[in-house]
Chains A and B, each alone.
Chain A
Amino acid sequence: MNRFQYARPETVGEAVALLEEHGDDARLLAGGTDLVIELRNRWVEPKVVIDLKRIPDLAPAIVERDGFLSISASTVMTDIAEDERVQRYFPALVESAVVVGSVQIRARATMAGNICNGSPAADTAPPLLVYDAVVVVAGSDGERRVPIDDFIVGPGKTALQRGELVTAIELPIPERPYGAAYTRLTRRRGTDLASITLCAGVDADGQARIAYGSVGPRAFLVEDESGILGDSTIPSEDKIDSLDQIFYRASPSLKSLRASPDYRLAMLRVLGARALETAIGRLTKELVS
């Protein structure tokens, strides 16, 4: 790797100031599971690496307040997946967190980093979209809250401006029963990058939404306008047309090594139907209890 300056700010303000100063020449370090590979392979050659791990305000924490579960920027996947409140309210997020990388990666990788890295295949993106997560962004003008759907822009791109960083991701705790499920398509069962990431959510009224990634420049969230996808009384085979409507934004790459476009499009349907079934099952269980 190339030489770079290493900065270890102790406040969010100091980090923001460094970002303001260095702009694109700076890279943030939290878990480092993407950054270190990029440095080693010389894919990025920053002048400054800003380590966020010594900032008390960003220390690993999952706190409940004002109807939100707030996950700080340096909280790692393992801790998110093991948190009892996340498990209770956001099971699909747990399902996505436990398949990121390997055991070792999950003990290091942060969810904020997963989103900020901007990979179209980011595992946590679809559940965060389905759960209407909000990204808390700090900048020199203070804090702003950005809905996750607006935060995710495209490959490697987010809504972050020069001098901004993510301090937390907030998830609204559902007030009514909600069922959601995450699933993915991979080439093998062990550690793998997903060819499809997909999360289905169904609310107490039977309204469904599906978020899916790795089949276009970013993960997309699409509401079911037909109103039938969340209906547990309608058999899966009668939902195919509605599912196809959901996946209208999919445009899988022809060049991908991982799966052909035809296969991915066909698997979107399969995974969509399976995730919906699980989501409806979870909703039903919540409604009963």
Chain B
Amino acid sequence: MNAVGSSPRRGGGYGRVTGHQEYLADIKLPDALHVKLVTLECARARINAIDSTEAEQVPGVHFVMTAADLPDPMPRFGPQFQDRPVIAVGETKYHGEPVAAVAAETKDAAEEAALLVKVDYTKLEDGIFSVADALAPDAVLVQDPALRGASSFAQTNIIDEKHFGWGDIDDQEAHLVVEDSFQFPMVTHFAIEPHGFMAAPDGDGIEVWSTIQHPYLLQKIMAKMLDLPLSKVRVHAPDPGGGFGGKQIPKFEPLVAFMALRAGRPVRLVLSLDETFQQVRRSSAEIRVRAGFTAEGVFTFMDIETNFLVGAYVDIADRVVSKSSYSGAGPYRIPAVKIIGRTILSHTTPSTAFRGFGIPQIGWARESLIDEAALQLGIDRLQIRLLNLARYKEPFIPSEEADGDWEQTVRTAAKRIGWGDPLPPNRGRGIAVGLKSGPTTGLSYSTVRLLYDGSAMVYAGTSDMGQGARTIFAQITAEELGVPLDDITVVMGDTSVVPYDQQTSASRSSVLMGTAVQRACFEIQGKVRAMAAKLYNVDEGDIKVDQGRLLLPDREFSVVDVMQEALAPLGGEVIGNGEMRKDKEPDHPLGGTAAFFEFNCTASEVEVDMETGHVTLVKHVTVGDVGKALNPLQVTMQDDGAAIMGLGHTLMEHYIFDNEGRVRNIGAIDYRILTSMDLPLDLHSESVENADGPGPYGIKGVSEGSLLVTAPAVGAAVREATGKIIRDLPLTPQRVWEALQEDENGS
């Protein structure tokens, strides 16, 4: 059995592509009421009164829930700060924040009634929609200081300011100092499956269904909010149709739970794609980078200041800021570094985790600035990176060392793009390197059951949202127990059945849950070895286990055969449990070292239409250090997918606001992502495999690497083709054309 390193058919893949998979919206709870949210046509408003008399007269409408129907003070929740109310109370803080929710027998009735809910509100001027707005001396405060506790920033719109670094940047000499500011837009996850939430009373507890990535976090939050023991909160988390970080954190689950308890029957709220746009996004950022170099191009210092504009509630955004800022200087050897990252509130959609977790923002600025330095120094852009790149095992942040042969990755990407080959007219190439910290803590449990007939069941609390976790866990089990892949069922998505998992994020699951699954298999191997020792009268110590085979001194058996012989005639099963724990390190600036780094080099060749500004991606290469590709096809698909997603924020994606803070391009018509027609003519993803990762078989995490520095690689290629440096994203045809119209003086 060589399940590891092969690319079997994806678990659940057939259901996904044929429409047979049961997504949350496909689950029809009998007797469920349909919920429609009521929102206002502005971002910031004072709610004076809500009159639902007329709405409640629509046939089929049961009730309209507002803040007045909920406990006082309003229950609030959040993964870092308890700041998000169940429903808006007193004031709305972003366009799309619900002020009321209608429960009705049908979706149409709920929608009709939602239009009839009369909200008497006063639009409030001076909403905060930009970093400048937020930091102005007379800025209104997005959040009530009373919610901010003892924070020294409580009287400002800054949630926190992170300081990282080493050495003294003022003490460094430099032949050349370059400095510039860059902007990264607000973008949304655009999972094809919109968010959905259902809840139903369950005896003296509650059942909740959600498209959530972190069912156990949801369970914890619901238990706390409803004052229930964890055992009375059952969370169903059907495989999400894409998550990308946008489904990590609870949103409207508490609201539907309160509505279900009031109704005494199930309620269901499935957002439209447009509504989802208003609930999750990536943080925008303004990034200033200053760096010093010797004449030879060696870094002498780097100074990064990033203002992340997060939304009205913090969600997980403050962690995005700290984690990305911490490694913001990249994979380089730099004697002195100073990094400041600010989490800044605004009256906009709450930003949350999003593939890359803050790194694409800082990477856009840092890598673009390195190019500007290379140009001024007359050094090749690949060479300046190789020159400064941390080598294997070399510390590049005081408590972190390079966990891979990063030079090999960069050289591979350069070779694949044909770095240095002559370019046709209107073409340009760019190269950039990026790195993201993997999980800093983790806790995953798995149970594996080897059933009597030689099939197996794997219980893992990971969410398979398309990344293929089901397949990975099945492959590990097949490898260790010798069970055919098709005979393995992976059970996920039900907190009353599957043991605890901390979360599905940070490209962690293959490494952390994968280790738990492997350890559960090891426990089964141990039990079966003991059975073999007894059956064949051999010392346990003389029996080796390898890929589902028990190797005795003079003969060998399969694990399944021994299990069957030992358990006959009653049958039964062998159960193994595995745990993977990565504890907190209280003295570490992030609370823990990274379990691994996702290291990526992206290289791109573009052709620019000099008359229209359209950018054609001629070739796009991403190379990642994955330790080992446990499933090579899935690694390629993750890398291709992440690259395409990165090309979205690079070339076309961005929220457009009006002056009242309304998102003008809500929905798929005017918020454009790449289609198959917009893909690179040649898209190439490749892995560097030295089996040096912390996971089973030497794997590292995969899935975010190839969007970390998509923008600077493409931006550099556009710069080479046009001679124009553009420091704001996305690189729309109009923006490139405008740059081309500028004369040499930049006006």
> Interface on A for B, CB 8 Å cutoff?
1-2, 42, 185, 187-193, 257-260, 263, 266-267, 270
Interface pairs (5), CB distance under 8 Å: A185-B612, A188-B675, A189-B677, A189-B678, A260-B734
Q: Is B154 close to A, CB under 8 A? A: no
CA distance A179 to B580 in the complex (A): 70
Query: How many of B's residues come within 8 Å of A, CB to CB?
Result: 24
CA distance A115 to B32 in the complex (A): 43
Chain A residues with Cβ below 8 Å from B674 are: 188, 190
Q: Is B120 close to A, CB under 8 A? A: no
CA distance A259 to B676 in the complex (A): 22
Cross-interface CB contact of B732 among A187, A190, A191, A270, cutoff 8 Å? A187
Shortest C-beta distance, B194 to chain A (Å), equals 15
B665→A257 contact, CB < 8 A: yes
CA distance A259 to B738 in the complex (A): 12
Shortest C-beta distance, A160 to chain B (Å), equals 26
Q: Interface on chain A toward B: helix, strand, loop, or mixed SS?
A: loop
B734→A263 contact, CB < 8 A: yes
Number of A-B residue pairs with CB-CB distance less than 8 Å in the complex they form: 44
Q: Which residue of chain B has the shortest Cβ distance to A274 in the bound complex?
A: B611
Check A188/B734 contact, CB under 8 A, given A1-B108, A257-B664.
Answer: no
Chain B residues with Cβ below 8 Å from A267 are: 612
Chain A residues with Cβ below 8 Å from B734 are: 259-260, 263
A187→B733 contact, CB < 8 A: yes
A257→B652 contact, CB < 8 A: no
Chain A residues with Cβ below 8 Å from B669 are: 193
Chain A residues with Cβ below 8 Å from B737 are: 263, 266
CA distance A226 to B738 in the complex (A): 30
CA distance A267 to B741 in the complex (A): 13
From 644 to 678 in chain B, residues with beta carbon under 8 angstroms from any chain A beta carbon are 651-652, 656, 664-665, 669-670, 672, 674-678
B678→A258 contact, CB < 8 A: no
Chain A residues with Cβ below 8 Å from B676 are: 190
* Smallest CB-CB A-B distances: 10 pairs: A190-B675, A190-B677, A189-B677, A263-B734, A270-B611, A188-B678, A257-B670, A189-B678, A257-B665, A187-B672
Q: Is B561 close to A, CB under 8 A? A: no
Check A188/B677 contact, CB under 8 A, given A257-B664, A263-B737, A263-B738.
Answer: yes
From 282 to 341 in chain B, residues with beta carbon under 8 angstroms from any chain A beta carbon are none
> Interface on B for A, CB 8 Å cutoff?
108, 111-112, 115, 611-612, 651-652, 656, 664-665, 669-670, 672, 674-678, 732-734, 737-738
Chain B residues with Cβ below 8 Å from A188 are: 651-652, 672, 674-675, 677-678
Chain B residues with Cβ below 8 Å from A1 are: 108
CA distance A266 to B669 in the complex (A): 24
Chain A residues with Cβ below 8 Å from B115 are: 42
Q: Which residue of chain B has the shortest Cβ distance to A264 in the bound complex?
A: B734
CA distance A27 to B699 in the complex (A): 60
Q: Which residue of chain A has the shortest Cβ distance to B115 in the bound complex?
A: A42
Check A192/B672 contact, CB under 8 A, given A187-B652, A263-B734, A266-B737.
Answer: yes
Q: Which residue of chain A has the shortest Cβ distance to B611 in the bound complex?
A: A270
Shortest C-beta distance, B416 to chain A (Å), equals 24
Shortest C-beta distance, B742 to chain A (Å), equals 13
CA distance A42 to B116 in the complex (A): 13
Chain A residues with Cβ below 8 Å from B733 are: 187, 263
Chain A residues with Cβ below 8 Å from B732 are: 187
Chain A residues with Cβ below 8 Å from B672 are: 187-188, 192
Q: Which residue of chain B has the shortest Cβ distance to A1 in the bound complex?
A: B108
Q: Which residue of chain B has the shortest Cβ distance to A185 in the bound complex?
A: B612
Cross-interface CB contact of A189 among B656, B670, B675, B738, cutoff 8 Å? B675
CA distance A192 to B677 in the complex (A): 11
Shortest C-beta distance, A56 to chain B (Å), equals 34
B108→A190 contact, CB < 8 A: no
Chain B residues with Cβ below 8 Å from A192 are: 672
Check A190/B678 contact, CB under 8 A, given A257-B665, A260-B734.
Answer: yes
A270→B612 contact, CB < 8 A: yes
Max chain B C-beta neighbours (<10 A), residue from A190, A193, A259, A260: A190
CA distance A259 to B651 in the complex (A): 14
A258→B675 contact, CB < 8 A: no
Q: Which residue of chain B has the shortest Cβ distance to A187 in the bound complex?
A: B672
B675→A2 contact, CB < 8 A: no
Q: Which residue of chain B has the shortest Cβ distance to A270 in the bound complex?
A: B611
CA distance A171 to B165 in the complex (A): 72
CA distance A267 to B115 in the complex (A): 41
Q: Which residue of chain B has the shortest Cβ distance to A269 in the bound complex?
A: B611
12 extra A-B contacts, CB within 8 A, seeds A188-B678, A263-B737? A42-B111, A42-B115, A188-B652, A189-B675, A189-B677, A190-B674, A191-B675, A193-B669, A257-B664, A259-B734, A267-B612, A270-B612
Shortest C-beta distance, B491 to chain A (Å), equals 36
Chain A residues with Cβ below 8 Å from B112 are: 2
Shortest C-beta distance, A272 to chain B (Å), equals 12
CA distance A270 to B612 in the complex (A): 7
